[in-house]
Amino acid sequence: MDASQRASHLNRLLAAWASEWTAGGLFGEIEHRAEPDARGDYHWLLRVRGEEKDVITLWWRLGKRRVHVECEVMPTPEENLETLYRFLLTRNATLAPLHCAIGPEEGIYLVGSLGLDEVTIPKVDEIVAATITQVDEIYPTAMSLGHPRWFRRRPSRPAR
């Protein structure tokens, strides 16, 4: 299967997944870049709603052999770095299928990858659900540690 066939396969699979999630009200949209980037990789953005962080964006990148997934949890922390990184490393021990990492511009991300043959609708479902759960659990504490001057945890919202 060549790169464009792999991209078409993943695009159909993500569209099928999205049609199932749209009915539940948590799914926002998928953006897909139909042409590969300079490295030959294809990209998708999946936006879903969270409780603590209103919009959670997952970046899916189809490389030559693997699908890489990442989600920015928070921008570059400004304070309490040692305490924040200790919190995140401790959380990493229980996170699956994604884990915390320092990403571009020193932001905090959830990242993971899987083989193209591993990508199924149940696996996409697992990754998206885990991302929502992990962001909602990590975000308030990470933000209050890394940006205490401007982040205030919002009051609980009623269940949807």
Is the pLDDT at 159 greater than 60? The verdict is no
For residue 154, the model assigns a pLDDT of 58
Question: How far is Cα 127 from Cα 155, in angstroms, rounded to an integer?
Answer: 27
Q: What global pTM score does this model have?
A: 0.87
Is the pLDDT at 41 greater than 80? The verdict is yes
The average pLDDT across 17-28 equals 74
The average pLDDT across 28-36 equals 87
Question: How far is Cα 38 from Cα 141, in angstroms, rounded to an integer?
Answer: 37
When mean pLDDT is compared across 18-22, 25-29, 128-132, the lowest value belongs to: 25-29
Residue 91 phi, psi (nearest 5) = -65, -35
For residue 152, the model assigns a pLDDT of 72
Q: Does domain 3-146 have CATH number 2.40.30.10?
A: no
The average pLDDT across 129-158 equals 85
For residue 43, the model assigns a pLDDT of 95
Write the pLDDT tens digit of every residue in 66-117: 999 999 999 999 999 999 999 999 999 999 899 999 998 899 999 999 998 8
Query: In the predicted model, what is the mean pLDDT of the chain?
Result: 89
For residue 27, the model assigns a pLDDT of 72
Question: How many other CB atoms are found less than 10 A from the CB of residue 45?
Answer: 14
Helical segments of 44-120, H only: 81-92
When mean pLDDT is compared across 27-31, 127-131, 137-141, the lowest value belongs to: 27-31
For residue 66, the model assigns a pLDDT of 94
Residue spans of the domains in the chain: they are: 3-146
Preceding peptide of 97 cis, ω within 30°: yes
